[in-house]
């Protein structure tokens, strides 16, 4: 029960952080390019990389807190960090082809899914 509570609380915190950081960057830069989203995604990747390195060290931290930090806070902040860590782990394990495949499939299939979803909404709801 503690694990689920920490995930839920972390998700709320991460979502609020995402909203704040993305909005702050967007207002600071005033550009058509989504700099705010990029800043969130890159900072989340930095954070999950630091946490993964910390968790790999001899430091002891309970599993509930690990999951609360990664799945909860960072998951609410940006799932892009999980994508980055999983791709890094593939490359670290010398699975370079799978790492590149993950990047290509995630980006291309993600874009295609957004496009298909938008076109479906146009048909169904007359967007």
Q: In terms of C-beta density within 10 A (0-12 exposed, 13-18 middle, 19 or more buried), how is residue 44 classed? A: buried
Average pLDDT over residues 43-50: 93
| 9-30 pLDDT tens trace | 999 999 999 999 999 999 999 8
| 65-78 pLDDT tens trace | 999 999 999 999 99
**Does the structure show a pLDDT above 90 at 43?**
yes
CB burial of 2-38 (b: ≥16 within 10 Å; e: otherwise) equals ebeebbeebbeebeebbeebbeebbeeeeeeeeebbe
| 69-120 pLDDT tens trace | 999 999 999 989 999 999 999 999 999 999 999 999 999 998 999 999 999 9
Planar angle of CA 23, 25, 28, nearest 5 degrees = 110
């Amino acid at each position: 029960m503690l694990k689920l509570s920490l995930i839920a609380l972390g998700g709320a915190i991460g979502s609020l952080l995402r909203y704040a950081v993305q909005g702050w960057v967007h207002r600071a830069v005033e550009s058509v390019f989504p700099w705010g989203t990029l800043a969130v995604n890159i900072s989340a990747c930095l954070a999950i990389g630091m946490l993964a390195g910390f968790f790999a060290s001899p430091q002891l931290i309970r599993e509930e807190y690990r999951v609360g930090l990664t799945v909860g806070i960072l998951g609410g902040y940006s799932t892009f960090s999980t994508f980055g860590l999983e791709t890094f782990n593939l490359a670290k394990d010398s699975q370079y082809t799978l790492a590149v495949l993950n990047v290509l499939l995630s980006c291309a299939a993600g874009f295609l899914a957004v496009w298909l979803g938008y076109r479906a909404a146009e048909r169904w709801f007359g967007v």
